[in-house]
Structure 1
Amino acid sequence: MTGAAEAEAVVAPLRRNRDFWFLWTGVGLATWANTVTTAVYPLLMIWAGGSASGAGLVGFASLLPLLLFQLPAGVLVDRLDRRRTMIVCNAVCAVTMTSIGLALVFWRLWLPQLLVVAFAEGCAFVFYRLAERAAVRNVVHPSQLSVAMAQNLARGRAAGLAGQPTGSALFVVSRWAPFVFAAVLHAAALVNLWRVRSRFQRARTARRSRLRAEIAEGITWLFHQRFLRAAILLISVTNVLFNALRLAIVVIINEDGGSPAVMGIIGIISGVCGIGGALLGPSVVRRLRPGAVIIGVFMVWTVAMPFVAATSHPVALGALLGVMVCVGALINVIAGVYQVQVTPDELQGRVGGVANLISSGANSLGPLIAGLVLASFGGTRTVLGLSAVMAMVTVAALLSPPIRTARLRPADD
């Protein structure tokens, strides 16, 4: 390349990149299917002859792969053809969803079958998300990476926003309808992936070592990256805080006599704001250093979080959470771009797996810690305690040289 200006002149706009759009829409359909079934599992167990304890078991089965398989999945994503891996994951999900739909039409709900299906779907999505994240930079031009990552994040937010109402509405029509719908979405996503022409990884030298050694290679590489190491650890703490905050908001609403519908209003407001934040991501990435974004977002969270303790009005809570989710999306974009940009292609899966495992562990700890603290101190005091911890995280970011000095590579590198 002779320079960024010349590169921009010859690179087609992202909207005309057929391979990216087949990938983007295919993963979007699969993610929508996943959010639909996640929303319907507890409805199916509680309203179709199951139980609350069964619903808890199914939820646990769907989340368990996030903790068990991130690291080995990262190794396999780096070893295998990533496009074929994603196609297999879509096929597995389509078949398992169809099996639940057929069981509900011709037989009856069987808890062991639902546990196996939820676990298989969770495993497939661990591989699916790692493979897509690793593939993106091989499908788009480096100058378009931030826009592609932002659109991927917005797509995920939109799918999450649509999943609950879609699943609930289809469940009202028929108990089997959400699962057949999800199977059709996975089949459509599979067709889209078949139509992608680009390779999802660079040519590699055939090399095989022990699984443990390859996992260790990814962990070692990541923790030698000073900015990524500091950012992931700080962001994992904020993940705990935000999962705890969401549960605290439920308690505050309940203490004030609010209904579950209020949480739906808050969820819609915050979901729309999250999409907006993701779409703002590329312009922010172009103008600001990663550390400036992280510190700025942490400051906004530190200021906004205590106000959650001061109100139980749904619109006010939705606005506060919406602001925090909106700016939080900026972190997801810039951290994702940085990680994909600096990580060698042959390590993308493993590094993504380590980062996701830390994040998954943090997400699991949030509700657990919040439940214990809320039982003792109530919603308002818990939020104030979370706010104090958030302030300490912000100070730690301000004092961290790797956070303050990190820079993205030029777009044409």
Structure 2
Amino acid sequence: MPIDLTKRDGVAAAPTGGRDGRRRRHAGPLRHRDFRRLWLGAGLSSIGSQLTALALPLWILDRTGSPALAGLVATMRLVALFAAQLPAGALADRRRRRTILIAADAGRAAAVAALGLLVLGGQDAGRGPVLLAGALATVEGLLTAVAMPAGMAALPRLVPRRELDAAVAFGQGQSYAVQFLGPLLGAALYRLQPAVPFLLDGLSYLVSLGLVLTVRRSLGGGDRGGQDRLRAAVADGLRYVVGSRYLRALLAWSALVNFATAGIAFVLVVVAGRDRPQSLGVALAVTAVAGVAGALLAPRFPRVPDARLLRVVTAMIVAVAGGAALRPSPVVMSLCTAAIALVSPAVVVRTNARVLALVPDALMGRVQGSLFLVGGCLYPFATVVTGWLDERFSAAGAMAVHTGVLAVVLALTFLPGLRRPPPPDAAR
């Protein structure tokens, strides 16, 4: 049954005529009170998470001197985050999404605050407190996995359909801005007092919790009363994804492009860290700024057909990566990653908005969980593979391999599912 996202729970498309209409168009999705509050809460909690992501391995290294243990704790959280995506997506459809977001923020605030207190009071150099810190970080990762599909699935209820592109772009821009600000703040706060980043992260979740509590609009979920078994609910979501030619092709495209671009970013880290360590921070900052600019420009991209946009942007990324493979110096790699960050939001915003408009609300959480899991399934292996390629061959060899992967990605854009995506109101 088609879903009309231009009007949800009393939200209708805003008028576009006259001075008021121009002002509303300029404000974009932020003029919607509930979207604005959830967007702000997500941004604050993301900055807090960046603080913890930087401070935790530094604290473990300071206490134990073991890079392997620091890497193990980070991996534990990442594995938990990915492993929980499918059941988290089913939960986002079976339970009220507003309740899920509230519970997730409360639980994450408690876990990270306990981590901060552990750091503040622990002076023992043994591994017991470190393993406890890893357990708390894993709990935070699990709760983040629960919150992710619920928050994304709620988005079509907060803005009219014609503003989904802009709403997704605001999320993309926020992500890049957090990548820029988070490490800078985290390093400074850790030097001030190692516990401060963790305590501020806990506070950010409390602020996000307060903002979620003020949301008035229904965020959906819970339509089936939770009576279906979790396994059956997950299977229903997977069947929907597998049965959609568009979603199957999009998942393959996403998994490969995420792997390749993450590998290219690691090549930048390797070559800059090896040749010009002082330039790495500048390069990452330039990439983050380019990503913010790309996200802001994405909704204004010429309204070419989705398939053509996907093909053109992917071809641009292949060309940029191929050029960088010829001479992967720190400057060239910085320009390469910045260029990819600038153009990729045009596709990410359009495809995410297409999925939000296509998928029925009753399945949205499960589809989002599948997209998070499958689309990012190769991402954790990108740095390991890239490091091996660099050692076995060279940075140029690693870039050549990633360029080849992107060439495969470009070929995928000619698949029927991506060449002829379904119209937005083709939801089943």
Task: State whether structure 2 residue 289 is matched by structure 1 residue 272.
Answer: yes
By how many angstroms is 1:309 displaced? 2.5
Task: State whether structure 2 residue 132 is matched by structure 1 residue 126.
Answer: no
| Alignment counterpart, residue 146 of structure 1, candidates 165, 172, 181 | 165
* Structure 2 match to 1:258: 276
Q: Specify whether residues 375 and 313 from structure 1 end up closer, same or farther in structure 2 by C-alpha distance, changes over 3 A only.
A: closer
Instruction: State how 1:348-359 maps to structure 2 within 5 Å.
Output: 348-359=364-375
Q: Specify whether residues 160 and 356 from structure 1 end up closer, same or farther in structure 2 by C-alpha distance, changes over 3 A only.
A: same
Q: What is the distance in 2 between the residues matched to 1:205 and 1:310?
A: 55
* Structure 2 match to 1:9: 15
Task: State whether structure 2 residue 89 is matched by structure 1 residue 74.
Answer: yes
Task: State whether structure 2 residue 330 is matched by structure 1 residue 314.
Answer: yes
* Structure 1 match to 2:384: 368
Q: What is the distance in 2 between the residues matched to 1:378 and 1:135?
A: 45
AA aligned opposite 2:382: G
* Structure 2 match to 1:243: 262
**In percent, how many aligned pairs have the same letter?**
25
Task: State whether structure 2 residue 139 is matched by structure 1 residue 111.
Answer: no
Contact 1:66 1:360 (8 Å CA) reproduced = no
By how many angstroms is 1:213 displaced? 1.6
| Alignment counterpart, residue 323 of structure 1, candidates 328, 331, 339 | 339
| Deviation by residue 1:337-370 (Cα, 9 ceiling, x = unmatched) | 1111111111111111111111231102322322
| Aligned-partner SS, 1:287 | coil
Contact 2:95 2:225 (8 Å CA) reproduced = no
AA aligned opposite 1:9: P
Bigger CA drift: 183-192 or 234-243? Answer: 234-243
Contact 2:95 2:222 (8 Å CA) reproduced = no
Contact 1:74 1:351 (8 Å CA) reproduced = yes
Task: State whether structure 2 residue 222 is matched by structure 1 residue 216.
Answer: no
Task: State whether structure 2 residue 420 is matched by structure 1 residue 402.
Answer: no
* Structure 2 match to 1:35: 50
AA aligned opposite 2:311: I
Q: Specify whether residues 316 and 370 from structure 1 end up closer, same or farther in structure 2 by C-alpha distance, changes over 3 A only.
A: closer
Q: What is the distance in 2 between the residues matched to 1:89 and 1:294?
A: 34
* Structure 2 match to 1:163: 182
AA aligned opposite 1:360: G
Contact 1:28 1:155 (8 Å CA) reproduced = yes
Contact 2:47 2:181 (8 Å CA) reproduced = yes
Q: What is the distance in 2 between the residues matched to 1:273 and 1:47?
A: 34
By how many angstroms is 1:124 displaced? 1.2
By how many angstroms is 1:202 displaced? 6.2
| Aligned-partner SS, 1:309 | helix
TM-score scaled by structure 2?
A: 0.89
Runs of 5+ consecutive residues of structure 1 not aligned to the other structure: none
Q: What is the distance in 2 between the residues matched to 1:355 and 1:312?
A: 32
| Deviation by residue 1:146-168 (Cα, 9 ceiling, x = unmatched) | 11111111112211221111111
Matched residue pairs, number?
405
| Aligned-partner SS, 1:58 | helix
Runs of 4+ in 1 over 4 A off after TM superposition: 10-13
Superposition RMSD in Å: 2.3
* Structure 2 match to 1:293: 309
| Aligned-partner SS, 1:140 | coil
By how many angstroms is 1:203 displaced? 7.2
| Aligned-partner SS, 1:9 | coil
TM-score scaled by structure 1?
A: 0.92
AA aligned opposite 2:290: C
Contact 1:44 1:50 (8 Å CA) reproduced = no
Q: Specify whether residues 396 and 20 from structure 1 end up closer, same or farther in structure 2 by C-alpha distance, changes over 3 A only.
A: closer
Instruction: State how 1:374-385 maps to structure 2 within 5 Å.
Output: 374-385=390-401
| Deviation by residue 1:188-238 (Cα, 9 ceiling, x = unmatched) | 111111111001016724352222221111111112221221122022111
Contact 1:290 1:407 (8 Å CA) reproduced = no
AA aligned opposite 2:368: G
AA aligned opposite 1:18: R
| Alignment counterpart, residue 211 of structure 2, candidates 180, 192, 200 | 192
